[in-house]
Structure 1
Amino acid sequence: MDRRAFGLGAVAMLGLSACASGDPRFRSYNGPEVTSVVVNKSARKLYLLHHDKVLKQYDVDLGFAPNGTKKARGDGRTPEGTYLINRRNPNSQFHLSIGISYPNAQDMAAAKAAGVDPGGDIFIHGEPNKRKDRRRARKTPDWTAGCIAVKNDEIEEIYAMVKNGTTISLRP
């Protein structure tokens, strides 16, 4: 076998093995099941629970108008109520994100009665991918449009620990 062919083959194998290791953002978790997520907006805390035991807690930033519940698209508020974790976005503009099932039927009925659009696309997510946006977010508490933001290493952990279908309670 010629050395050049062998060298190219070896480089190709190393490249493939690097791909097999996966994206470092996607951690694995083998601990107790996260049975619920609780966000205490006034304390700016997110808790991951296994039944009544707190497994992890995180400091969070909220919507730019943090007091009160979300009522309409663009109001800058983070919703209050009970929802489900219902989707994941590995290609988020905020590192990684997991979706919250806002609006629910009650939110939609309230918005309809008020003649407004309830909004949507509420996520738990990391920091902005763009460096200038990330610098701005670090200087400004409660910088999101209604989402719950944590640091990038924290969303990686949350993304691994919390499964779709997990209940999330957002409390005042």
Structure 2
Amino acid sequence: MRGVLRFAPLLLLLGVTAAEAQEPLKLPDIDLIRVRKAARIMELWSADRLVHVIEHIQLGDEPVGPKRFEGDERTPEGRYVIDWANPNSAYHLSLHISYPNAADRAFAAGQGRSPGGMIMIHGQPNAWPAGRVPGDWTDGCIAVSDEEIEALWEAVPDGTPIEIEP
């Protein structure tokens, strides 16, 4: 609170009151992520309770249908885990999704193709000036705002299950 009061005169000059200043998004420890692709939402669960919904998630350029092959620009569907985090991402932080699983690899191999990989939940591109890139734009990842990935970064440990639904 002390920091807000110190900047109160500046905020008033800018036409912003202390009531309008938003606190950063804080989440409890998340133990399940559920993505509903068609609705463009990410549900965050803690202790069997829905604690937050991230709206307006951004998906691959071809968002309908499951990811099958490298380069299809689709976001996977199925049950995976968050298995590592990348603080040096080309995007504002990123959390790796364990795609492809054994079934994904077997399907792609049966077609003589690669399933692809490096599917992440991440923020916006580091070089992006402000806000969000418009529309679905990833190569199959799930993009959220920079503020949202910062909150996820703090609340989602390795091993957290992620269910990605059509």
Give the structure-1-normalised TM-score. 0.77
State the Cα distance separating 1:153 from its structure 2 match. Answer: 0.6
Of 24, 49, 54, the residue aligned with 2:50 is 54
CA displacement at 1:52 relative to structure 2: 3.1
Q: 1:114, CA displacement in angstroms?
A: 1.1
- Residues 120-159 of structure 1: matches in 2 within 5 Å? 120-131=117-128, 138-139=133-134, 141-159=135-153
Runs of 4+ in 1 over 2 A off after TM superposition: none
Say which is worse superposed, 119-128 or 54-63, in terms of deviation: 54-63
**Aligned-partner Cα distance in 2 for 1:142–1:32:** 28
The count of residues paired between Structure 1 and Structure 2 equals 142
Question: Shift of the alpha carbon at 1:53?
Answer: 1.3
2:84 equivalent in structure 1: 87
In 1, distance between residues paired with 2:48 and 2:40?
20
Q: Structure 2 matches for 1:91-110, cutoff 5 A?
A: 91-110=88-107
After TM superposition, give the deviation of residue 115 of structure 1 in Å: 1.0
2:108 maps to 111
Map of 1:36 onto structure 2: 32
Q: For the residues of structure 1 that align with 2:133 and 2:114, how far apart are their CA atoms?
A: 30
Give 2:96's aligned amino acid: G
Cα deviation, 1:20-52, whole Å, max 9, x if unaligned, reads xxxxxxx9x6x6431110000000001110143
Point out the structure with max Rg over C-alpha: 1
The one of 54, 64, 70 aligned to 1:73: 70
Q: TM-score, normalised by structure 2?
A: 0.80
Letter in 2 for 1:138: V
Share of identical aligned residues, percent? 45
* Distance (Å, rounded) in 1 between the aligned partners of 2:45 and 2:156: 10
Match for residue 11 of structure 2? Answer: none
Distance, in Å, in 2 between the alignment partners of 1:48 and 1:54 is 6
Q: Structure 1: give runs of 5+ residues left out of the alignment.
A: 1-26
Root-mean-square deviation (CA), in Å? 1.9
Q: What is the DSSP-based 3-state SS (H/G/I as helix, E as strand, rest coil) of the residue aligned with 2:84? A: strand
Q: 1:8 is matched with which residue? A: none
